[in-house]
Amino acid sequence: MLYHPPVAGNTPLRKLPALCKLYGISNLLVKDESVNPTGTHKDRRSQLVAKDAGTLHPDKLVIITSANSGISLARACRLSGAQIVCIVDSAMKKETKNRLSAQVHRVIEKNLSTGILLTEQTIALARESEHEVIWDVTNNYHEAYMGLVAELVNVQPSHIIVPVGSGELFVGLYIGLKKYGLNSRLVGIGVSDPNSVADKLYAKWTPYETVIKSIARDGHIFARADEQAVRSAISKSASFSLRAEPSALAAFAAFEMFDIPKDGTVVYVNTGKGIL
């Protein structure tokens, strides 16, 4: 029997009255990416990568990951024939690494706190024979998230609140707003502490840094929450019926950090429940 990967996208948009009451927003909607095939918004990008890989047939795909995107990619690319190589931080928990290793071709540990690995470096790490065709798919798939904006056109949100790690999702949403003509204001929340409970949002270096600054100059918001605000946001929102990992819930810090209009339509993007 042929394997047909589940399709990502077209995720539900739902209103939680208790959440509206907590933050005093009359129309606070949750865009629930946790219902994607592997429970994460990254399934959208993995689906796009898999489409390219299924057409051009590279031997390997290499990605720097904290685990979730690696597993998402492996499942989406099951039919492409490409082997998945994951580069992870050497500080990754052994249990997480072992579970990731069971899903992909190879896991390579590196100290990722010292700087960004260039594409040629990731490809060199993944290479096992001279003639392999290897793609680095760590970045540059932000267009995968434009479809998420298309799914919000009917509600015309005044604000879209979203967690920000590398910034790929934030950038993709911004481009989507331009494409579909929405006047929504993005509010992106990252973390400032590498040891944060929402550590998946910590990005000391990101190739999207310059673009994020440009987006902020265009009237949108990006800020890094301190750990007190992150923990407070997670504590307040964790009791609601959201399948969301800490890095997703951390974005609720936006309501404490900024004056979000009470009478607008606000969309919070739940980036997912996390795989590992």
Give tens-digit pLDDT for 28-75.
999 999 999 999 999 999 999 999 999 999 999 999 998 899 999 999
Rounded to whole angstroms, how far apart are CA atoms 36 and 6? Answer: 8
Q: How confident is the model at residue 241 (pLDDT cuts 50, 70, 90)?
A: confident
Task: Let me know whether 128 and 68 are in one domain.
Answer: yes
d(CA 242, CA 248): 10
Q: Are residues 150 and 232 in the same domain?
A: yes
Find the range with the poorest average confidence among 2-11, 155-164, 181-190, 254-263. Answer: 2-11
Q: What per-residue confidence (pLDDT) applies to 261? A: 92
Q: How far apart are CA 218 and CA 236, in angstroms?
A: 31
Q: Does residue 262 have a pLDDT over 50?
A: yes
Q: DSSP H helical segments within the chain, as ranges?
A: 17-23, 42-56, 68-76, 94-101, 119-126, 146-150, 168-180, 209-217, 227-237, 246-249, 254-257
Q: Residue 134 in contact with residue 107, Cβ under 8 Å?
A: no
Domain-located, residue 66:
yes
Domain boundary among 112, 136, 160: 136
> What pLDDT band is residue 218 in, cutting at 50, 70 and 90?
very high
The pLDDT-based confidence of 114 (bands split at 50, 70, 90) is confident
**Whole-number pLDDT of residue 3:** 46
Shared domain check, 146 and 124: no
Q: Looking at the structure, do residues 156 and 221 belong to the same domain, yes or no? A: yes
pLDDT score recorded for residue 5:
57
Q: How many CB atoms lie within 10 A of CB 24?
A: 11
pLDDT per residue as tens digits for the range 135-155:
999 999 999 999 999 999 999
Neighbours of 115 (CB within 10 A): 10
Helix, strand, coil share of the chain (percent; to 5): 40, 20, 40
**The tokens of 189 are what?**
């929340």
Tally of helices (H runs) and strands (E runs) in the chain: 11, 10
CATH number of the domain at 52, please. Answer: 3.40.50.1100
- Cα separation, 206 vs 10, in Å, equals 28
Same domain, 98 and 159: no
Q: Structural domain of residue 48, as residue ranges? A: 42-136
Residue 111, amino acid: N
> How large a percentage of the chain has pLDDT more than 70?
98
Q: Are 118 and 87 in contact (CB under 8 A)?
A: no
Average confidence score pLDDT of the chain: 93
The mean pLDDT of 21-25, rounded to a whole number, is 93
Q: 147 and 125, same structural domain?
A: no
Structural element, H or E, at residue 187: strand 185-191
Residue 275, domain member (yes or no): no
108 assigned to some structural domain: yes
Instruction: Tell which of 97, 115, 136 closes a domain.
Output: 136
Q: How many domains is the chain partitioned into structurally?
A: 2
What is the mean pLDDT of the segment spanning 213-232? 97
Q: What is the pTM of this model?
A: 0.93
246 exposed, middle or buried (CB, 10 Å; 0-12, 13-18, 19+)?
buried
Share of residues in the chain with pLDDT > 90 (%): 85
CA distances from 264 to 46, 88, 149, 150, 161 (A): 33, 40, 17, 19, 13
Q: Are strands 83-89 and 106-110 parallel, antiparallel or unpaired?
A: parallel
Phi, psi of 56 (to 5 degrees): -105, -10
